Structure 1
Amino acid sequence: MNFRSTILTLYFLQIGFTLLMKYLSYQGDSSPELHERILKYFSEADIQNGIDYGRRGFFASILSQVLDFILTGLFVFTPISKRLEDYLAQKTKDRFYLTVVLFFLVFAFAKAILSLPFSYYFGFVLEHQFGFSKMTFIDWVVRTSKTLTLTIGIGILLGVLAVFVLKQFKKTWKLILPIGSLLLSLLFTILFPILITPLFYDYKPIEEGSLKNKIVALCDLAKIKVDKVYVINESKYSGHTNAYFTGFGDNRKIFLYDTLIQNHTEEEVVSVLGHEIGHWSHNHQLKDIALSTIETALLCFLVGFLFMKTKEENNIHLKEIHSPSSIPFLFLLISIISFFSSPTWNSLSRLQEKEADWEALVLTKDKKSFISTEIKMARDNKSRLNPNPLNVFLYHSHPTTLERIRMAEEF
């Protein structure tokens, strides 16, 4: 079997398995034993709300996934990419990097146009239907425009940088790209709250009072210096709840959704922050960046090998690895490799989440608030309480709600 046939087989395997997992996710876990355990903490209505929200737009999500696969397949397995590069090169009079930028724009725009109706349906129609979204249509248009502009803009910038490295450093690009991704990850972590968050949210320092005092005391107990504590106006857009840390060293910041403060007691908010502190105590962010750098290095070597072998066979329309027309093929290779590697990374993520949960319990010594938080957050977010176990094992980045409650009960 040649490499083209192998890649085609893996491509269709990825499509088939993705659709199978969507079906299993839709089905969930209907075992009577699990149902009985759920009813210790939740009502039948809570279970049904999670099922209904988890199943929302099932056929639309399948159609979206299939269309995205088809678009990628057309760019990879037909002469479209090569002809588009030749056309753009002719129009730009062979100005290479301008051709690269225009190719990225066309490819990204095609994906955006394809996904836009589904983004509207899932992000606006269904979120309103389930009582989460508070956005007007104009709010949604503005927010989506910002997201697309930012995503495409950053994507093109990073893409051009990657192409530059591939073209100029033909022998060492497999070492340069991982180092570059490491530096960019660190830079993005620092700049995200400064440049990205303000584009989408208004936020302000938390008011002086009991909650702030408890947060500061918890951070002091964990020996974590926090620069600022901010409250984000999520309630303007949705009813979802969340909290997170960002930054490094003395520049650490805490962001709380105002919906979290509105829907939870102070002790429950502190419990949520205890979890986030757990991530910092165990250096999960730095570990993730380090592992991501290692993964990028392995990915570069594997993608480079597969590209050269496929090009040698001349069964797919490929030019050089830095050519614009090679971009969709490189994306496909990365997608296939990630398809096989993601279960490993998800299991590591679940382990980190368990460590953070445990740290929250150790810091607060308040398992009652931890459990009530999990129950409220599951209800607030209409979480699926009976997910399919295979889906959880392969693709969930967090433990299930019942797993987290059980750990707290055993604390």
Structure 2
Amino acid sequence: MAEDFTAEQVARGRALRRAQVPWLLGGRAVALALTLVVGLTPAGAGLVTWAGGLFGGSRTAEVLAGAAALVLLGQAVGLPFGARVRVIRRGYGLVTQGWAGWAVDALRGLALTLVLVLPLAWGLYALTAHAPQRWWVPAAGAAAALTVALSFLHPLLIEPVFNRFSPMPEGELRSALLGLAERDAIRVRSVLVADASRRTTALNAYVSGFGATRRIVAYDTLLTTAEPREVELVVAHELGHVKHRDVALGTVLGALGAAVAVCVLGLLTAWPPLLSAAGATDAADPRSLPLLAACAALIGAVSGPAQCAVSRRIEARADRHALELTGDPEQFIAMQRRLAVANVADVDPPRILELLFATHPSSVRRIAAARAWRPQT
């Protein structure tokens, strides 16, 4: 580690981690605790009844207003924690956006969540009314189909909500990036630049979409900070995800996971003790909404470490692909140094934090793997 990062760089990354992790984990813990309290006590049923009463008290009103109330409550609880993390990151030079811009983004995120959640809640309770005991069978299929649809539409409908994209100008770098994709036999629709600098100084790039929506996206911060060869290495890593069909595989696994989660929810919401604790009569009762949210949150929390473990393996494989595609471990290591320093990363975090929450291997592990890599003969 000493040969790759100075003592000051290591200390700076650790200091940021120590400053923000308690707030990040605290926000998760408080949000989960509140969701469980609301979902496993009559408080949630009372919230749904009250919110629905504001709009006439019909079943549809309770479903839509109740779902909106749960979303708003979750956003409100997480806001102070997110604001504090933002203050900390701004102190380390990672935030360039003002509070007004941050508030606008928060409102955009809230609006997007409501646009997605309210139709889902309405459709779900239409199914429970039609088949109170077997609603989860068609709901599981619908959840899987929706996951696939969102994966395809995400770069077209959701990414533009938070960033503006412009075509990368013609030049050596654009040609080099398209050349990497061509050598990988990957069809790329476009190479775009995201205006990340209006929010952050962090560096990143990614390949999003699949089929007709696939494109290479580079943060403008990366293009203005990193050497062109380092940008190529970042993109080569992202092309590795495409080459190994990580987006498609992730979509399939996500669809299967969503279907299984719905089936588990169906079993849980049919269990009389849980329904009684939540103050609901059955799954068709809109007052079961908070119970559904609580069970879904608990499933997500429990499955989180396993998802992170799978993600780390996928990212390590993409690193190997970048090395195989470019044959340039020295520049790969330089790129990892650049990313770690610019993003103020803790280059060697505590193992327990990495196992539970990290979606990527640590910088030290990625650099060590690059040093150990040898070309295939």
SS of corresponding position for 1:319: coil
Aligned to 1:234: 196
C-alpha distance 62-298 of structure 1, shift in aligned 2 (>3 A): closer
Aligned to 1:259: 221
Alpha-carbon contact 1:189-1:246 (below 8 Å) kept: no
- Verify: 1:405 aligned to 2:367, yes or no: yes
C-alpha distance 312-87 of structure 1, shift in aligned 2 (>3 A): closer
C-alpha distance 387-222 of structure 1, shift in aligned 2 (>3 A): same
Structure 1 segment 262-277 matched on structure 2, within 5 A: 262-277=224-239
Aligned to 2:67: 104
Alpha-carbon contact 1:190-1:246 (below 8 Å) kept: no
Q: Distance in 2 between matches of 1:114 and 1:267?
A: 43
Output the amino acid matched with 1:304.
Answer: G
Output the amino acid matched with 1:279.
Answer: H
C-alpha distance 185-266 of structure 1, shift in aligned 2 (>3 A): same
Output the amino acid matched with 2:248.
Answer: L
SS of corresponding position for 1:272: helix
Q: Distance in 2 between matches of 1:85 and 1:251?
A: 39
Alpha-carbon contact 1:68-1:114 (below 8 Å) kept: yes
Aligned to 1:202: 164
Offset of 1:58 from its aligned partner? Answer: 5.0
- Verify: 1:291 aligned to 2:242, yes or no: no
Aligned to 2:8: 45
C-alpha distance 339-393 of structure 1, shift in aligned 2 (>3 A): same
Structure 1 segment 244-255 matched on structure 2, within 5 A: 244-255=206-217
Q: Distance in 1 between matches of 2:303 and 2:110?
A: 27
SS of corresponding position for 1:231: strand
Q: Distance in 2 between matches of 1:194 and 1:297?
A: 24
Aligned to 2:81: 118
- Verify: 1:337 aligned to 2:272, yes or no: no
Output the amino acid matched with 1:364.
Answer: T
Offset of 1:52 from its aligned partner? Answer: 1.3
5+ long unaligned stretches in structure 2: none
Q: Distance in 1 between matches of 2:40 and 2:296?
A: 16
Q: Distance in 1 between matches of 2:114 and 2:90?
A: 27
Aligned to 1:280: 242
Q: Distance in 1 between matches of 2:233 and 2:194?
A: 18
SS of corresponding position for 1:145: helix
Aligned to 1:138: 100
Aligned to 1:376: 338
Residue 310 (structure 2) aligned to one of 312, 328, 348: 348
Residue 148 (structure 2) aligned to one of 186, 200, 203: 186
Alpha-carbon contact 2:16-2:92 (below 8 Å) kept: yes
Alpha-carbon contact 2:188-2:215 (below 8 Å) kept: yes
SS of corresponding position for 2:19: coil
Offset of 1:366 from its aligned partner? Answer: 0.9
Aligned to 2:43: 80
Aligned to 1:387: 349
Alpha-carbon contact 2:143-2:259 (below 8 Å) kept: no
Offset of 1:249 from its aligned partner? Answer: 1.8
Alpha-carbon contact 2:203-2:222 (below 8 Å) kept: yes
Alpha-carbon contact 2:168-2:193 (below 8 Å) kept: yes
Offset of 1:206 from its aligned partner? Answer: 0.4
Offset of 1:281 from its aligned partner? Answer: 0.8
Q: Distance in 2 between matches of 1:143 and 1:210?
A: 34
C-alpha distance 85-337 of structure 1, shift in aligned 2 (>3 A): closer
Residue 34 (structure 2) aligned to one of 71, 88, 96: 71
Output the amino acid matched with 1:103.
Answer: G
Q: Distance in 2 between matches of 1:366 and 1:315?
A: 59
Alpha-carbon contact 1:245-1:253 (below 8 Å) kept: yes
Q: Please provide the CA RMSD for this pair.
A: 2.1
How many residue pairs match? The answer is 373
Q: Distance in 1 between matches of 2:29 and 2:214?
A: 41
Offset of 1:245 from its aligned partner? Answer: 1.2
Q: Distance in 1 between matches of 2:237 and 2:58?
A: 51
Alpha-carbon contact 2:132-2:282 (below 8 Å) kept: no
Aligned to 2:184: 222
Offset of 1:61 from its aligned partner? Answer: 4.3
Q: Distance in 2 between matches of 1:74 and 1:171?
A: 25
SS of corresponding position for 1:408: helix
Q: Distance in 2 between matches of 1:197 and 1:274?
A: 21
Aligned to 2:266: 304
C-alpha distance 68-344 of structure 1, shift in aligned 2 (>3 A): closer
Q: Distance in 2 between matches of 1:187 and 1:58?
A: 33
Deviations 1:30-50 (A, max 9, x none): xxxxxxxx2121111111111
Alpha-carbon contact 1:178-1:293 (below 8 Å) kept: no
Offset of 1:137 from its aligned partner? Answer: 2.2
Alpha-carbon contact 1:310-1:316 (below 8 Å) kept: no
Aligned to 2:109: 147
Q: Distance in 1 between matches of 2:147 and 2:275?
A: 36
